[in-house]
Structure 1
């Protein structure tokens, strides 16, 4: 708290001296670049900063966390005895928790994790029937599609709740 008060007094002192509150170090570097004759394109530096800050559309680290969230939800859903398809509800729960905790939108990673986890679980749980003649490719596609949709819906509602909780009133 004392640091915050100290910052306010410093800011008030600098503004009372005729300063407009602009960071002096930033303006001096721009002025020195122009004075030397170098062109300084402010738009390109802002674009470079935005691409480095926002990251890319796909992140391997986020994919691993998405697999962890979806897998954890499936384990929790599988703990409910005698109720079928609770692993699918676990995919929805994992996507919801991931959307609630993640600071960025990661629909691609979560959709991939939900689809692969849902398809693999369906195929592995019905492995004896696959040997008897059940079509495994079709089963993987259907269960993967359901897992993908559930993960994306869960992520959307988790992000929606997060934005509602962090929004100023």
Structure 2
């Protein structure tokens, strides 16, 4: 019995710490710890939006790569423009998902476009490309959502 009381007290302490910040209520009223944790994790990082961002940013990178004379820079510009559009069109700020999608898009582009370079030991180039994809996608999403907020805010 003593163990059961300690567990209940620990659960109550956790529910106080992990209480629902949006409504100000204590968590634990009809909702399990696992479902609350899952809901918070999805609110922090949405897998669906990440997949959408990865597909859109990959397409943007490939389309930007077809710009004559500046294939690599055009791909990065296409990535930034696609991330900017995603940030401007979505109602919530999803910068982390978009930046991670940019990392995947840059990785796919590097893998498909420079397979011989990567096979020859171009890990430094790959790391720089992945970092640039992450950074540009994150900045594009941030600037797009900032523009959307500025255009839709009341004066």
TM-score (norm 2): 0.68
How many angstroms apart in 1 are the aligned matches of 2:107 and 2:141?
19
Stretch deviating more after TM superposition (72-81 or 62-71): 72-81
- Contact preservation (8 Å) 1:117, 1:147: yes
Stretches of structure 1 lacking an aligned partner (at least 5 in a row)? 1-41
- Contact preservation (8 Å) 1:119, 1:141: no
Residue of structure 1 aligned with 2:99, choices 111, 115, 125:
111
**Per-residue deviation at 1:137?**
3.0
Residue of structure 2 aligned with 1:65, choices 44, 48, 52:
52
Count of residues paired in the alignment = 124
Please say if 1:168 is aligned against 2:149. no
How many angstroms apart in 2 are the aligned matches of 1:121 and 1:76?
11
Q: Which residue number in structure 1 is paired with residue 25 of structure 2? A: 44
Pick closer, same or farther for the CA change 1:136–1:123 going to 2, 3 Å. farther
How many angstroms apart in 2 are the aligned matches of 1:152 and 1:159?
11
Structure with the greater alpha carbon radius of gyration: 1
TM-score (norm 1): 0.63
Q: Per-residue displacement from partner, 1:133-163 (whole Å, max 9, x unpaired)?
A: 2x24333211000000000110111011100
**Per-residue deviation at 1:45?**
6.6
Please say if 1:83 is aligned against 2:80. no
